[in-house]
C-alpha cells in the first residue's frame, strides 16, 4: 500500500498483474482535526481566530527646549532631501524581491520519472507535469487540463480527446497529440509504477495535431484515468535519452520536461529539498502576487515542522502533532485545514493459516476493535469508522453498508463457536515502524484482545520488511497486517482489486482472500464504469458486502487531511485525489 508521512503505507511493484498497484511508501503523519465553532472559516476552508488589534504606540513627549529648533529642522529637511534622492535611485535600480513559498513534508522524493514514479515525488510531479484532465472532488468529475474536451462512443470503447493549443513543454517543444501518444505509450511499455491504469487501452492513435484517440479492449472511463496522480503525466517527446533507461536516469538527476507552471532547478535538486522555478511560458499565464519560486523540503519530525511554520521558515506543512490542534487553531498567525481524504487504515486477517483461517475467529477479531477509542485516542478525532472498503466521500462508498461494532460479548461468543472459549492463542500483528497511528491502534487493540484470552504480539517493522514477510504467503506470515490505502485514480476497483482480488494474492491481498464470485463482481463492475455507472456502483456495493461477511480485512478508520499554514498564505485548496499535494500555482501571499 502506500503511505505519506508517518502514516501511510507504501507502494512497491507488482510485476505480472496489469492492475496491480506498485506502491512505494508515501509517508504521512497525523490526521485531521475537528474544527472548533469558536473560530471562523479561513481561506481554503481552514478555521482561524480573529486577528488581535496591535497596541497603539505611545505619544511622543513634547521637547523641553525650543531654542534653535528652527536650525535643526532646516538641517533635517536638507538631509531628508538628499536621502530621498538616494532612496529613489536605489529603488529604481535594485532588482525586484524574489518571492518564495516553502512546503515541509515528511519523507524524501527519490525518483522523478513521470512514467514510473509511484511514491512521495507526487508532490513534485504535480507541479511540473500535467495530465489531460484533473479530478475535481467537489463535482466528482474529471475537468479539462491539457485536454479541452472529449467524447466517447456509446459502448465506451473509443475515446477522443481534443487538446489545448498554444502549450509548450519546458524544453520549448510544442505540445500536441504526438506528445500525448509518446508519453502514454512509454508508460504502458515500461509496465511499472501505476502503468496498470492504462490496461484497458489497446492502442493510442493520433487523429490530428490536437486530437488523440484511445481504442480500448473493454469499456473504461478514460477521462478519469487521465486524471490520475500517477502514471498519467504528459512529457516532451524530445526528452534526452536514446533508451528508456537513459531517459529515466536523466529524469532522476533532477531534470523535467513537462508543461506545468514550475520547472525543477536541477543545480539545487536533492531528494530532501526540491527548488522549483517559475516557467515563464506557462500556458495558464501568471498573475500578480504569485510566487517566483517554490521549495519542497523534508522535515521528518512533526513537531519540528510545526515549529518551522510558527517561525515563518516554512509556509505550509502536513500533519503537525495532533495534540496541538486547539493551540494551533487559536494562533492568529496560522490557519488550520481539516478536510476529507480518500485514505483509510485497514487490518488484514490471515485467512489462509492459523486461528485467523477460521471465519468465526475473524469476525470475533472485528468485534474486538475499539473503534471509537481508535478515532479519539489514536488519530485524535481526525477520522471516522469506515462503512465498507471505499472511503467516505469517494465514488463507490455506500453509507448503508453494515459495520462491525465494538462488542466483546459477541466476540467471545464467536470465539467459543470456533473452539476457543477462553482464547488461549497468540497472534502476531505487524505495522510500519514509526507510524504512530498504527502503533496506537495496535496498543489499544492488544488491551481488548487480552480480555478475551488472546495475546497480541505487536511488531513494528520497516515497510519493506513487513511487506516482504506477507508476500511469502499465508504460512509463516503475520496474522494481522496493518496498512493504509488510497486511490491511484478515483475508482473503487483500485481498492478492491489490489487488496482483495485473487490475482493480487500475496501482493496487496494480504488477507489471502480467494473468492471467485467477488472477483467476477468487481471485474464486471469495472467494465461498466464508462457506460452504466449506476449498475457498476451497485456491483461495487455488493462486493463490499461480501467482504463484510467474509472478513479478510476490516476498515479501522477513514482518515482526514490535516494541514497547517501561515495566515498570509492565500489560495490553498486541498484536493484529496492528490494526497498531500499543495498546488503552488494557486497560491499567493
Task: Kindly tell me the sign of the dihedral angle through the C-alpha atoms of 163, 169, 174, 176.
Answer: negative
Helix axes 408-417, 359-367, angle to 10 degrees: 170
What is the C-alpha to C-alpha distance for residues 586 and 583, in angstroms, rounded to an integer? 6
For residue 143, the cross-strand partners are 134
What is the C-alpha to C-alpha distance for residues 89 and 428, in angstroms, rounded to an integer? 73
Place of cell 485497514: 346
Cell of 465: 520488511
How high is the pLDDT of residue 500?
97
What is the C-alpha to C-alpha distance for residues 260 and 270, in angstroms, rounded to an integer? 20
How high is the pLDDT of residue 59?
32
For residue 158, the cross-strand partners are 215
Task: For residue 585, give every residue at least 6 positions away whose Cβ sits within 8 Å of its Cβ, in sequence order, or none.
Answer: 127, 260, 261, 262, 282, 284, 290
How high is the pLDDT of residue 96?
57
Q: Supply angle C-alpha 408, 433, 361, rounded to 5.
A: 25
3-state secondary structure of 92: helix
| Tens digits of residue pLDDT in 416-450 | 999 999 999 999 999 998 888 899 999 999 999 99
pTM of the model: 0.80
Task: Kindly tell me the sign of the dihedral angle through the C-alpha atoms of 397, 400, 402, 403.
Answer: positive
Dihedral, 218, 220, 226, 229 alpha carbons, nearest 10: -110
Domains parsed from the chain with CATH numbers: 101-108+258-333+567-586 (3.40.190.10), 122-225 (3.90.76.10), 340-561 (3.10.105.10)
For the chain, 589 residues long, give each residue's pLDDT as a single digit of tens. Answer: 343 333 333 333 333 333 333 333 333 332 222 222 222 333 333 333 333 333 333 333 333 333 333 333 344 444 444 444 444 433 344 445 779 999 999 888 989 999 999 888 999 999 999 999 999 999 999 999 999 999 999 999 999 999 999 999 999 999 999 999 999 999 999 999 999 999 999 999 999 999 999 999 999 999 999 999 999 999 999 999 999 999 999 999 999 999 999 999 999 999 999 999 999 999 999 999 999 999 999 998 899 999 999 999 999 999 898 889 999 999 999 999 999 899 999 999 999 999 999 999 999 999 999 999 999 999 989 999 999 999 999 999 999 999 999 999 999 999 999 999 999 999 999 999 888 889 999 999 999 999 999 999 999 998 889 989 998 899 999 999 999 998 999 999 999 999 999 999 888 999 999 999 999 999 999 999 999 999 999 999 999 999 999 999 999 999 999 999 999 999 999 999 998 999 999 999 9
Task: For residue 497, give every residue at least 6 positions away whose Cβ sits within 8 Å of its Cβ, in sequence order, or none.
Answer: 19, 503, 504, 522, 526
How high is the pLDDT of residue 83?
43
CA distance between the termini of the chain:
36
- Label residues 191-209 b or e (16+ Cβ within 10 Å = b): bbbbbbbbbbbeebebeee
Contact 517, 546 (CB under 8 A): yes
Q: How many CA atoms lie within 13 A of 234 on its CB side?
A: 27
What is the C-alpha to C-alpha distance for residues 74 and 248, in angstroms, rounded to an integer? 70
Contact 277, 291 (CB under 8 A): no
Contact 374, 557 (CB under 8 A): yes
Least Cα distance to 504 among 569, 553, 567 occurs for 553
What is the C-alpha to C-alpha distance for residues 479 and 411, in angstroms, rounded to an integer? 17
Residue 187 burial class via C-beta count within 10 angstroms: exposed 0-12, middle 13-18, buried 19 and up: buried
CA 48 to each of CA 142, 326, 380, 449: distance values in angstroms, whole numbers, following the listed order: 31, 11, 19, 41
What is the C-alpha to C-alpha distance for residues 473 and 496, in angstroms, rounded to an integer? 19
Amino acid at each position: 500500500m502506500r503511505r505519506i508521512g508517518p502514516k501511510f503505507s507504501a507502494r512497491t511493484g507488482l510485476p505480472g498483474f496489469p492492475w496491480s498497484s506498485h506502491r512505494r511508501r508515501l509517508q504521512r503523519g497525523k490526521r485531521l482535526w475537528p474544527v472548533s465553532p469558536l473560530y471562523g472559516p479561513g481561506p481554503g476552508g481552514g478555521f482561524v481566530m480573529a486577528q488581535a488589534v496591535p497596541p497603539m504606540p505611545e505619544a511622543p513627549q513634547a521637547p523641553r527646549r525650543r531654542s534653535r529648533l528652527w536650525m535643526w529642522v532646516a538641517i533635517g529637511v536638507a538631509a531628508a532631501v538628499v536621502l530621498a534622492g538616494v532612496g529613489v535611485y536605489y529603488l529604481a535600480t535594485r532588482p525586484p524581491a524574489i518571492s518564495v513559498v516553502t512546503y515541509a513534508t515528511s519523507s524524501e522524493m527519490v525518483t522523478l520519472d513521470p512514467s514510473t514514479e509511484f511514491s512521495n515525488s507526487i508532490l513534485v510531479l504535480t507541479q511540473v507535469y500535467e495530465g489531460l484532465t484533473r479530478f475535481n472532488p467537489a463535482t466528482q468529475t474529471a475537468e479539462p487540463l491539457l485536454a479541452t474536451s472529449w467524447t466517447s462512443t456509446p459502448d465506451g470503447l473509443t475515446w477522443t480527446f481534443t487538446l489545448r493549443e498554444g502549450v509548450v513543454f519546458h524544453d520549448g517543444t510544442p505540445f500536441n497529440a504526438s506528445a500525448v501518444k509518446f508519453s502514454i505509450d512509454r508508460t504502458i511499455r515500461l509496465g511499472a509504477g501505476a502503468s496498470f491504469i492504462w490496461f484497458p487501452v489497446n492502442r493510442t492513435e493520433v487523429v490530428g495535431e490536437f486530437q488523440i484517440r484511445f481504442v480500448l479492449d473493454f469499456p473504461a472511463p478514460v477521462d478519469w484515468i487521465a486524471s490520475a496522480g500517477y502514471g498519467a503525466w504528459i512529457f516532451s517527446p524530445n526528452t534526452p535519452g536514446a533508451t528508456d533507461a537513459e531517459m529515466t536516469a536523466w529524469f532522476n538527476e533532477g531534470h523535467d520536461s513537462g508543461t506545468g507552471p514550475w520547472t525543477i532547478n536541477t543545480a539545487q535538486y536533492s531528494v530532501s529539498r526540491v527548488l522549483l522555478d517559475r516557467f515563464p511560458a506557462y500556458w495558464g499565464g501568471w498573475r500578480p502576487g504569485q510566487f517566483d519560486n517554490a521549495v519542497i523540503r523534508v522535515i521528518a519530525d512533526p513537531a519540528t515542522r510545526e515549529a518551522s511554520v510558527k517561525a515563518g521558515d516554512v509556509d505550509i506543512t502536513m500533519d503537525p502533532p495532533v495534540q496541538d490542534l486547539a493551540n494551533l487553531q487559536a494562533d492568529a498567525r496560522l490557519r488550520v485545514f481539516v478536510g476529507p481524504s480518500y485514505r483509510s487504515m485497514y487490518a488484514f486477517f490471515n485467512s489462509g493459516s492459523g486461528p485467523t483461517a477460521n471465519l468465526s475467529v475473524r469476525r470475533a477479531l472485528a468485534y474486538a476493535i475499539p473503534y471509537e477509542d481508535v478515532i479519539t485516542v489514536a488519530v485524535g478525532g481526525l477520522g471516522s469508522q469506515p462503512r465498507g472498503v471505499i472511503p467516505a466521500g469517494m465514488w463507490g462508498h455506500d453509507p448503508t453498508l453494515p459495520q462491525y461494532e465494538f462488542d466483546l460479548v459477541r466476540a467471545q461468543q464467536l470465539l467459543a463457536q470456533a473452539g476457543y472459549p477462553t482464547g488461549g492463542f497468540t497472534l502476531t500483528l505487524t505495522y510500519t515502524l514509526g507510524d504512530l497511528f498504527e502503533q496506537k491502534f495496535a496498543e489499544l487493540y492488544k488491551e481488548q484482545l487480552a480480555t478475551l484470552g488472546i495475546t497480541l504480539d505487536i511488531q513494528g517493522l520497516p515497510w519493506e520488511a513487513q511487506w516482504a514477510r506477507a508476500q511469502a504467503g499465508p504460512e509463516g506470515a503475520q496474522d494481522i497486517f496493518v496498512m493504509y490505502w488510497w486511490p491511484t485514480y478515483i475508482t473503487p476497483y483500485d481498492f478492491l482489486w489490489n487488496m482483495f482480488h485473487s490475482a493480487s494474492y500475496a501482493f496487496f491481498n494480504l488477507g489471502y482472500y480467494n473468492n471467485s464470485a467477488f472477483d467476477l463482481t468487481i471485474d464486471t463492475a469495472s467494465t461498466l464504469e464508462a457506460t452504466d455507472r449506476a449498475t457498476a456502483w451497485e456491483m461495487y456495493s455488493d462486493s463490499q458486502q461480501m467482504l463484510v461477511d467474509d472478513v479478510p480485512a476490516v476498515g479501522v478508520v477513514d482518515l482526514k487531511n490535516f494541514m497547517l499554514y501561515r495566515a498570509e498564505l492565500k489560495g490553498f485548496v486541498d484536493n484529496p485525489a492528490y494526497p498531500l499535494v499543495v498546488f503552488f500555482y494557486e497560491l499567493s501571499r
